[in-house]
A and B are shown apart, each in its own frame.
Chain A
């Protein structure tokens, strides 16, 4: 029972990161109808910048800020530099452009930093603490929860309570009408990409220290998990991404804990297949317009 509780709570912490990463995919999907296959590589690039800043200044918090800023800028550059010109005439083109970016970014990171795994410091201990005699969260898990809660909460407030959020939503759902009403939709699109990329960067920064370490390919599996989460939640449902992320995190934790960590990717594959076949619209999706 103790082990079950521990695995569940550990899975929730892991799931929070997946939720954040999936949310970043959902943000881009809502804004541009593109699944950004380069999201993982972009997030790892921002994490490398954070790693460098932390190494130079000795402060984790400076690195955290650098990751957010770098993620924001990388997202804006990718949208302005590449994705804007890909066009949406075929569903394949954005995917192929994203894969090209994935290869380019990973290779450049490999050239700059080498392909070896680097250990990243965490600001808090990742050893679980005991509450009422049960080992549950580590303080790092709590920190992860807090970070993601603050950022996701901030995004919710931004999208629902501010004029800027209204403009962002308008550009995503009715771009032509929004433009007629004076919204600079192209700027909103760039902003959407930038915010999504910053969120992805935060998720990568939080998850990579708990895995093998920093490596150009560190986010490959995380991307696949997050894609699964986003599909389960319904690609255009932010709430679905968050709930799906927590659920998948717990599931992965159970699978790794009881049957072995190597089975996690297979479990994800089976889960993704099941969802795509049984409920391709996603479990939390409201809209029916998507065809799979």
Chain B
């Protein structure tokens, strides 16, 4: 997809989703806002883990950094008497900046790690989050977290648009922005560098790419996206607390990135939708069954986690390219010339010159999108 096409697609998606909020009930609008907030974090993880090959469990901590940055900035500004759009935009910018700075610091340290080491380190980061908030409880509010003074929807919209719909608008616009930027990065020079470093750091270094700097940059970008997600969550929930950004939440984000199809931003969309829709469906189903209060309480939450865990295992074992990978395969089977209306999947497409010196194709990462023979230009083969 060319850049112009991508912008047109992004604009169309934003208009369509905003239009949707006029039709759906306000709770669904709230869910849409949540999907969009999660999507920012998941898309960041897609860039870091899918294209960069660095598995991070710290995305929840970075989203928390975004949420707390939002909370602190918004509360300070509200205390100083600021109102209007400034009270919305400055805290959001602070959320992105706060998370990005933390991500840069972590990235400088973690950029040298890979595989299970990085996963273990980032897991330690998430587990330490409640300890951090209670150590600095005078600023961060301890286990209770912070309540946030948020800028409500503009006065001109009151009466016609509900709070939830307004939150959805904001989240849709922000997440479309994040996704477009990430898509540009992934399909540009930086994306090629990132995949080259993932597949073979030595070959990438020989081709003039600085692997360490590329990895740290990936961490930085991914954290900025997570910060936007955290800021949006802080705005919609009007709170920031350590309990909302637990290890389980980090695992959820990873699950969403893997299930949708890791390395593919379209897959991140699938994952984000699943992350919100499945628990809702399950709790609707269990409430219909008229279970005893104790049993319902045990199933609530746990059943969704169990399904997510199971799905994660099955996807890793059977369909490493996730939902989007399956869709692409079906799409290709329907017709070889049919173009799929999502960003193309194969990152190291054979015609991109920068990936040529990398012997990546000989040792592909299993979870990543690989060279698909079907995507090669149809060349007549000798018998």
Contact = CB atoms under 8 A, between A and B. Distances in A.
Given A35-B116, A82-B317, A266-B131, A96 B254 contact: yes
Interface in B126-174: 127-128, 130-132, 134-135
Given A92-B53, A97-B317, A265-B127, A280 B306 contact: no
Given A99-B312, A110-B305, A273-B109, A92 B131 contact: no
A256 to B, nearest CB: 11
B303 A89 contact: no
B135 A272 contact: no
A111 B313 contact: no
A220 B49 CA distance: 22
A212 B123 CA distance: 21
B338 interface: no
Interface in A239-292: 262-266, 268-269, 272-273, 276-277, 280, 291-292
Contacts of A100: 255, 309-313, 316
Interface string A211-246: 000000100110110011001000000000000000
Nearest to A230: B120
A272 B301 CA distance: 32
B313 A92 contact: no
Interface string B96-138: 0000000000000100111111011101110110111011000
A183 interface: no
Contacts, number: 161
A103 B306 contact: yes
A227 B247 CA distance: 15
B117 A277 contact: no
Contacts of B255: 99-100, 103
Residue from B116, B306, B366 with most neighbouring chain A CB atoms (10 Å): B116
A171 B370 CA distance: 32
Given A97-B317, A106-B305, A110-B305, A292 B49 contact: no
B132 A97 contact: no
Contact of B128 (A101, A112, A268): A268
Residue from A86, A93, A217 with most neighbouring chain B CB atoms (10 Å): A93
Given A96-B258, A227-B120, A277-B112, A269 B125 contact: yes
A221 to B, nearest CB: 6
Contacts of A105: 309
Interface residues of A, number: 53
B194 to A, nearest CB: 15
Interface string A100-124: 1111111110111011000000000
B115 A95 contact: yes
Contacts of A132: none
B258 to A, nearest CB: 6
B365 interface: yes
Residue from B53, B130, B132, B312 with most neighbouring chain A CB atoms (10 Å): B312
B93 interface: no
B123 A266 contact: no
Contacts of B269: none
Q: What is the interface of chain B mostly: helix, strand, loop, or mixed?
A: helix
A193 interface: no
A277 B109 CA distance: 7
A87 B119 CA distance: 18
Nearest to B247: A220
Contacts of B134: 262
Contact of B251 (A102, A108, A224): A102
B381 interface: no
Given A93-B320, A269-B125, A262 B131 contact: yes
Interface residues of B, number: 53
A126 to B, nearest CB: 24
A111 B310 contact: no
Given A35-B116, A110-B298, A221-B127, A92 B365 contact: yes
A91 B127 contact: no
A33 B251 CA distance: 22
A37 interface: yes
A37 B53 CA distance: 18
A262 B55 CA distance: 27
Contact of B312 (A92, A96, A106): A96
Contacts of A102: 251, 309
A93 B254 contact: no
Given A85-B317, A91-B116, A104-B306, A266 B251 contact: no
A276 B366 CA distance: 26
B114 A266 contact: no
A90 B114 contact: no
B254 A99 contact: yes
B124 A107 contact: no
A100 B313 CA distance: 5
A106 B308 CA distance: 12
B55 A280 contact: no
B306 A107 contact: yes
Nearest to B106: A273
B339 interface: no
B203 interface: no
B367 interface: yes
Interface in B1-52: 49
A262 B142 CA distance: 11
A292 B306 contact: no
Interface in A31-73: 34-35, 37
A292 B119 CA distance: 12
A96 B55 contact: yes
Interface in B297-327: 297-299, 301-306, 308-313, 316-317, 320
B127 A220 contact: yes
15 contacts: A95-B116, A99-B57, A99-B254, A104-B309, A106-B309, A107-B306, A112-B298, A217-B247, A224-B124, A228-B120, A228-B124, A263-B135, A265-B124, A276-B112, A276-B117
Given A99-B312, A104-B305, A220-B247, 9 more contacts: A86-B317, A87-B366, A91-B116, A92-B115, A101-B313, A106-B309, A268-B124, A273-B121, A292-B117
